Amino acid sequence: MAVELLIDESRIRERLGAMGRQIEDDYRDKPLTIVAVLTGSLIALADLVRQIRIPLRIALLQASSYRGATTAATTLVVNEAFAPDVVGRDVLLLDDILDTGQTLGALVEHLKDRGARSVRTAVLLRKIGRQIVPIEPDYCGFVIPDAFVVGYGLDYNDEYRHLPYVGVLGDS
Ligand code: XMP
């Protein structure tokens, strides 16, 4: 399928650099753990952490959402195999995209329940017009229109993640 360029590599690099500076200022002398949500945020994680020059730890989380058979409600199931140790840590939860907000909303509560000292959120992309859960990301790369995007970690059927830019997936 065709992919139409939305955000190119250099804009992403520049924006992650600015987010990195902000994170450095906010977490200086704090026990920072960046918890990245698999798999979509892996590329952003790798590029973002290399822009942050204060001590930090990296952890990963995996969660899958299941839609009820008879309702539109979704349930998020966290894969306990990862179970990051966040007790007493200031956690920055990183995801690729904020869409309805259900994933981030549930994972913030999950990390607090696991003993994090604080939990803030960072997303590379925020889609407008689809949010259900009222959550404001503390750090946001780009606000994008309501379109299905791929690249830079984001997938369609587990493909396109390796594209070095974010693009809109077309029909042809
Ligand atoms: P919610 O709705 O919980 O969704 O905020 C967050 C998760 O949904 C996936 N998602 C997308 N993945 N292109 C993708 O490749 C998209 O346009 C898109 N919109 C939502 C993604 O896994 C994200 O973590």
Q: Which residues touch 46 (CB under 8 Å, ≥6 apart)?
A: none
40 lines ligand 1 (CB under 6 A): yes
97 lines ligand 1 (CB under 6 A): yes
The C-alpha atoms of residue 103 and residue 125 are separated, in whole angstroms, by: 14
Q: Token pair of 87, please?
A: 């007790």
- In angstroms, what is the span from residue 155 Cα to ligand 1's centroid? 9
- In angstroms, what is the span from residue 97 Cα to ligand 1's centroid? 6
Predicted confidence at residue 72, as pLDDT, reads 65
Atom number, ligand 1, closest to the C-alpha of residue 160: 15
The C-alpha atoms of residue 64 and residue 74 are separated, in whole angstroms, by: 10
Provide the pairing of β-strand 166-169 with 149-150: antiparallel
- In angstroms, what is the span from residue 96 Cα to ligand 1's centroid? 7
* Catalytic site positions: 99
148 lines ligand 1 (CB under 6 A): yes
What averages of pLDDT result for each successive group of 10 residues across the chain (172 residues)?
96 98 98 97 98 97 80 80 93 97 95 97 96 95 97 97 97 74
141 lines ligand 1 (CB under 6 A): no
With vertex at residue 64, the alpha carbon angle to CA 61 and CA 65, rounded to the nearest 5 degrees, is 135
Alpha-carbon dihedral sign for residues 93, 97, 98, 100: negative
**Nearest-CA residue for atom 18 of ligand 1:** 148
Judge if pTM exceeds 0.85. yes
- What DSSP state is assigned to residue 112? H
User: What angle, rounded to 10 degrees, do the helices at 9-27 and 42-49 form?
Assistant: 60
User: Residue 92's closest CA among 137, 127, 42, 142?
Assistant: 137
Q: Which residues touch 59 (CB under 8 Å, ≥6 apart)?
A: 33, 34, 35, 36, 82, 84, 85, 86
> Cα dihedral angle (171, 156, 102, 28), rounded to 10 degrees?
-120
Q: Which amino acid is at 12?
A: I
- In angstroms, what is the span from residue 124 Cα to ligand 1's centroid? 11
Burial of residue 129, with CB atoms counted within 10 A of its CB: 0-12 exposed, 13-18 middle, 19 or more buried: exposed
